Homo-oligomer: A and B are copies of this chain.
Amino acid sequence: MIDEGVLAQIRTMVAEREWDQFHTPENLAKSITIEAAELLECFQWHRDADLSRVQGELADVLTYCCLLADKLDLDIGRIVLDKLQETRAKYPVDKARGRSTKHDRL
């Protein structure tokens, strides 16, 4: 789990390197996408990927997500819970069960 201790270590790493100046919300959104695509690259030609590469790339995505949340004063747990509530409403169990169809076509 990502608790305050983890978040504190991310912040310290960035502060020590004075990288905050590069971390506009826009640049962080770009960075999340770039790292997500590196994660996807682990699966470019095959369904199974090298676990240690996946782990490193997933960590990069998560770290930039935490930095963007921080920058916008959002609590990552709070926004995940809020979105879960929306998802539950958009995809009622009886309609969505066992289907990967998008809500607007359910």
Q: Which residues of A contact B (CB under 8 A)?
A: 1-7, 9-10, 13, 16-19, 21-22, 24-27, 29-34, 36-49, 51, 54-56, 58-63, 65-66, 68-69, 72, 74-77, 79-84, 86-88, 91, 93, 96-98, 100
**Is the pair A25, B49 in contact by a Cβ cutoff of 8 Å?**
yes
Q: Is the interface of A mostly helix, strand, loop or mixed?
A: helix
Q: How far is the CB of A1 from chain B (nearest CB, A)?
A: 5
* CB-CB under 8 A for A33 and B37, given A63-B80, A96-B17: yes
Copies of the polypeptide in the assembly: 4
Chain B residue with minimal CB distance to A19? Answer: B100
Complexed CA–CA distance, A25 and B19 (Å): 24
